[in-house]
Amino acid sequence: MNVGRIVIVRATACLACGMGFAAGEPAPQSPGSNDVSLKDLRPSHPRLILTKERIAALRGLVASDPVAADYLAQIRRRGAAMLKQAPVTRTPDPRGHILGVSRRAQRRIATLAFLYRMDGDRQWADRAIAELRAVSGFADWHPPHFLDVADMTIGVAIGYDWLYDVLTPEDRALIRNALTDKGLKEGLSCFARAPARQPGETRPGWWVPTKGNWNTVCDGAMIMGALALADETPEIAADLVPKALENLPNALSLYAPDGGWREGTMYWDGATRYLLYTAFTLQSALGIDYEGMNEPGIRVTGNYPLALEGPTATFNYADCWESPRRPRTVFYGLASWFRDPALAYVAREKWAGRGEAGPFDLIWYSPDGTAQDLAGMPRDFLFRRIQVATMRSAWNDPNAVFLGLKGGSATSDGHSHLDAGTFVFDADGVRWARDIGGDNYALPGYFGKLRFTYYRLTTAGHNTLLLDGRNQDQKARAAEITAFHSSADQAFAIVDLTGLYAPAGATRVRRGGALLNGRRHLLIQDEIETRAPVDVVWTMHTGAADLAVAPDGAHATLTRERKTCRVRLLAPPGARFTAERYRVSGGVLVEPTPEKGDWKLLIRLDKKTAAARIAVFFSPGSAEAKTPPLTALAEWK
């Protein structure tokens, strides 16, 4: 039965069967698109990413590669802990969602089913089947919040496919019916009822025409679920797979042109992981290469989280956490698909020990790549679509200097903050300037009208400028990085923030961030012009344990773990630093005590002004650093 016109190409070789690659081996060529029929479906199970050929290869790899063997040991430890846990129950969170339940079930099913496939021990299969029975018995998988359905669909599809040979006819019927009725038919309903770009979680299919991580997750889930059952419910696969593939470009376009992702690294991880699930599933189940992986930006998208990863934490703009689980699994998947040794090295060596391995770490594992592959990458990146720049003094150095600077739109997507101009700064293994991240999604109106009343999301809650106490304009055009420079001993970026401060009467607001003096020091320089005098506040939240301002007010010292960073206020004359503690609870600032609360460094100009230059110089370490001469941002070369 024909499943429709799908923009994919036949694979010249099944990477999903081998996954590993030789350095320098050419990537497979794409001869062009084809009509794809279910007659091309791999007739036996498992067929979703993991195949019998790949299982045999993994067993050999574990026997010969110590890292692969250690991954399997870690997965076994995770599986052993799962054996002692009761199956999940349908317990909604405060928002009524069961996404946490779906992801927990998916993680358990994939882990336990993978272990059964690797060593044949029925204890793993039996426990996974208990999980599958439990979630199949749920009344529904909460379609109003379709991510809940999508994650559950993937977990159940993997379980049905990887454990098919040991499922009883009764279990197959139970699981197949649940996957069909609570997963795939809900997906078809979304495509049939999708409104014209009217987001709202209670509208089935609201996510279909939108752009973001939901697309790769939900579309990928429908493809995996449909192909798991394609020989038993071919009419659903024939209808659903083309619809999902036709919809995926809504997300793929966001990677163009350079791989950046506007929702931040945490959501990039999810979006790209599910894109890889889809691509490898199409390859293993139908023997075709998904042409969408050749869309602009996707081949180089691994550069994005790597560039935003500082020595201490990620540049966590938007709703992202400061130190999320590093995307090791995604890096292995990208390294395997694109045969990129640098990404394989980062996944294996740089992010070793960042959480226990999961099954896809081993399925996509590659032993290729060295420190030299990473060291040979550019130290500085500018992601034009999202207007984010990062600069560093070195790779492979935990004490390196790192700067992340953001422009962009105040409300480019549902996870955006009013944070244009914000920056993070690492040196000597400490994050001296930090982004304090998003808040609790269950706060009233967090994704609605109250969103930008919560401190962490406001302009005041970021390392940027506040004019007349106003938030940046939500409707303004995105702040553009207008200059970017990278050379051996320095790097800088300049962002034009003017439009975002127009409600305060701004006619020109620009911020420059530069690594100077052999990339050892940081200069943040602002130039502000307004139609009438305004109050100006400069803010920086810090990860320092202590913050001391000198009596002259022009010097401050940040300390943490016996590390020091000196900060000098170079301009304007007479301005002073102040140090304050802050604490956020329930989304708002609460009165801190002298013993509790984090530090922030501020500059409040002593009187209103219509023109100002603010220049702040950071010199990590105890040694005095020579103050750089100040020049206008227009003269930065």
User: DSSP states of 195-247 as a string?
Assistant: -SS---TTSTTTTTTS-SHHHHHHHHHHHHHHHHSTTTSHHHHHHHHHHHHHH
The helix or strand, by DSSP H or E, that contains position 37, with its residue range, turns out to be strand 34-37
Distance, in Å, from the CA atom of 267 to the CA atom of 402, rounded to the nearest integer, reads: 22
The helix or strand, by DSSP H or E, that contains position 153, with its residue range, turns out to be helix 146-162
Is residue 302 domain-shared with residue 385, that is, in the same domain?
no
What pLDDT is attached to residue 457? Answer: 96
Weakest mean pLDDT among 273-287, 309-323, 333-347, 368-382: 309-323
Is residue 189 domain-shared with residue 322, that is, in the same domain?
yes
Domain with 519 in it: 381-622
Is residue 338 domain-shared with residue 385, that is, in the same domain?
no
pLDDT at 11 over 80: no
* Structural domain contains residue 632: no
Is residue 356 domain-shared with residue 455, that is, in the same domain?
no
Is residue 102 domain-shared with residue 140, that is, in the same domain?
yes
CATH number at residue 499: 2.70.98.70
* Structural domain contains residue 376: no
With cut-offs at 50, 70 and 90, classify the pLDDT of residue 13: very low
Residue 80: Cβ within 10 Å count = 12
What average pLDDT does this structure show over 466-483? 95
Torsion-angle region of 235 (φ positive above 0: left; ψ -120 to 50: alpha; else: beta): alpha
Give backbone dihedrals phi and psi of 53, rounded to 5 degrees, phi first. -65, -40
* Structural domain contains residue 79: yes
Weakest mean pLDDT among 19-33, 307-321, 469-483: 19-33
Choose between 336 and 200: higher pLDDT.
336
* 324-343 residue pLDDT tens: 557 899 999 999 999 999 99
Residue 143: cis peptide before it, omega within 30 degrees of 0: no
* 568-613 residue pLDDT tens: 999 999 999 999 999 999 999 998 766 678 999 999 999 999 999 9
Sheet holding 577-585, edge to edge: 465-467, 536-541, 598-604, 577-585, 588-590
What average pLDDT does this structure show over 227-237? 96
> Of 343, 369, 395, which one is at a domain's C-terminal end?
369
pLDDT at 197 over 60: no
* Structural domain contains residue 478: yes
* Structural domain contains residue 179: yes
pLDDT at 198 over 90: no
* Structural domain contains residue 132: yes
Is residue 361 domain-shared with residue 391, that is, in the same domain?
no
> Of 335, 369, 403, which one is at a domain's C-terminal end?
369
Residue 371: Cβ within 10 Å count = 14
* 233-261 residue pLDDT tens: 999 999 999 999 999 999 999 999 999 99
Is residue 315 domain-shared with residue 437, that is, in the same domain?
no
Is residue 392 domain-shared with residue 357, that is, in the same domain?
no
What average pLDDT does this structure show over 19-44? 51
Q: With pLDDT > 90 as the criterion, what percentage of the chain qualifies?
A: 84
Is residue 275 domain-shared with residue 403, that is, in the same domain?
no
With cut-offs at 50, 70 and 90, classify the pLDDT of residue 28: very low
* Structural domain contains residue 181: yes
* 358-413 residue pLDDT tens: 999 999 999 999 999 999 999 999 999 999 999 999 999 999 999 999 999 877 67
What pLDDT is attached to residue 326? Answer: 73
CATH number at residue 73: 1.50.10.100
For the chain, how many structural domains are there in total?
2
Is residue 551 domain-shared with residue 479, that is, in the same domain?
yes
Average pLDDT, the chain: 91
Is residue 239 domain-shared with residue 178, that is, in the same domain?
yes
pLDDT at 32 over 70: no
Distances (CA, A) of 524 to 74, 404, 421: 44, 12, 10
Is residue 469 domain-shared with residue 413, that is, in the same domain?
yes
pTM for the whole structure? 0.89
What pLDDT is attached to residue 8? Answer: 39
> Of 348, 369, 390, which one is at a domain's C-terminal end?
369
* Structural domain contains residue 238: yes
C-alpha angle 154/319/515, rounded to 5°? 120
